[in-house]
Amino acid sequence: MATYDLRNKTNASTGQRIVLSQDQVRLNRLESGWKRLENLEIKVEDQSNKLDQITSLLNEISKKTSTS
């Protein structure tokens, strides 16, 4: 027969649930939407910088080929 030490902490559920109010749910959705928008803006800015570098390189190459 097994013996159990009831003094040890367990990871069992207590049955309690956290219920958010409608305002909290809306606020969480709004915050996550803003975070996604900020991430998208950062990605667009990075792509824009990369495209600027590519166009400057292409301009340099076209200048070199047009002079020779």
**pLDDT at site 54:** 97
In this predicted model, what pLDDT tens digit does every residue of 2-52 receive, in sequence order? 777 777 777 777 777 888 899 999 999 999 999 999 999 999 999 999 999
pTM: 0.56
Domains of the chain, residue spans:
31-68
Check whether 68 has a pLDDT greater than 70: no
Check whether 62 has a pLDDT greater than 70: yes
Reading the block at residue 45, the tokens are: 């800015």
Reading the block at residue 24, the tokens are: 């909290």
Q: Read off the pLDDT band of 56 (50, 70, 90).
A: very high
> What whole-number distance in Å separates Cα of residue 24 and Cα of residue 65?
61
